[in-house]
Amino acid sequence: MTRAQVTLDGPREIHDARRFYRGGQPSFERILSNLQIARDILPLIIRINVDSENRVHIPELVRVLRESGIFDGKCKAVIYASPVVPYTEQARMLWRPIEQTELPSLGQGIETSLEAVGLTDRSRPTHSLLDGNRGGCNAMQHHSFVIGPKGHLFKCELGIHDQREAVGHVLTTAAEEPAARRRLPLLKPGVKALDWDAYNPYDNESCSSCQFVPICKSGCPKKVMEGAEDFMKATCDYWDINFSELLHQALSEASR
């Protein structure tokens, strides 16, 4: 494993109200403790899940992480904000998602928060043009996996609720699977596992001639393979609405 991404929904009070254990116990302190241990073992990517209600707490979370020494480890730790997407109608009723026009400001908010606590290049994300987690999904990387609560490996976090979408397990040994000597082992795909190796964003007829496809890679590959047209349109809207502002931000950063 060369790096790990961990998600937080805000500082302690905000996070624990949203992300608690099955028995209702809080999870923020456990995650923070794990980050403090991991900071000297491997590079960390800390993603803040942001919606219209918790975005004002980004500076507080950055301050807490700074005071906890997360960014002072032997390995680099970067932090970025990603909008919460309501993948079901029930989830859509719980909060107001970030509007398309608001997405570029998430990256700016992170930059301002890092500068306020004396952090700049060491913890700055390297993909500011892709703020909003659009394009280049980690699921398309051969050695990228999401670890489920029982140790199963998934290509996409959207499938961890269904064990049939698992493609492996962290406890598979080298003796059971020779490929484990080189990388995390793969098991025979479950009956619902998507064919990730066969996916090619340029095969999408509606995207193949689009000027943004080299950047956006057709958006969420899982949703594209499932034919979810609403999510595909949301990706198109994101780039149509925000590209000029994102490009301006990227040029401003490059000129610093």
pLDDT tens for residues 12-46? 999 999 888 889 999 999 999 999 999 999 999 99
Residues 6+ apart with CB under 8 A from 211: none
Q: What is the pLDDT of residues 189-236, one digit of tens each?
A: 444 556 777 778 788 777 878 888 877 777 788 888 878 777 777 778
Residue 197 in tokens: 């190796």
- The CATH T-level fold of domain 4-133 is Transcription Regulator spoIIAA (3.30.750)
In the DSSP assignment, the letter for residue 49 is E
Q: Is 147 exposed, middle or buried (0-12, 13-18, 19+ CB in 10 A)?
A: middle
pLDDT (mean) for 142-163: 82
* Greatest mean pLDDT among 44-53, 141-150, 223-232: 44-53
Decide: 186 and 176 in contact? Cβ < 8 Å. Answer: no
Residue 131 in tokens: 């703020």
Residue 148, number of CB atoms within 10 A of its CB = 19
Residue 212 in tokens: 């943004």
Domain residue limits, the chain: 4-133, 139-198, 201-254
Residue 140 in tokens: 């398309």
Strands 4-8 and 44-50: parallel
Q: Is 133 exposed, middle or buried (0-12, 13-18, 19+ CB in 10 A)?
A: buried
Decide: 104 and 246 in contact? Cβ < 8 Å. Answer: yes
The residue with greater pLDDT, 252 or 150, is 150
What is the dihedral sign for C-alpha 19, 22, 24, 30?
negative
Q: What span, in angstroms and rounded, lies between the C-alpha atoms of 117 and 230?
A: 39
- Cα–Cα distances in Å, from 248 out to 78, 207, 217? 22, 24, 21
Q: What span, in angstroms and rounded, lies between the C-alpha atoms of 50 and 82?
A: 6
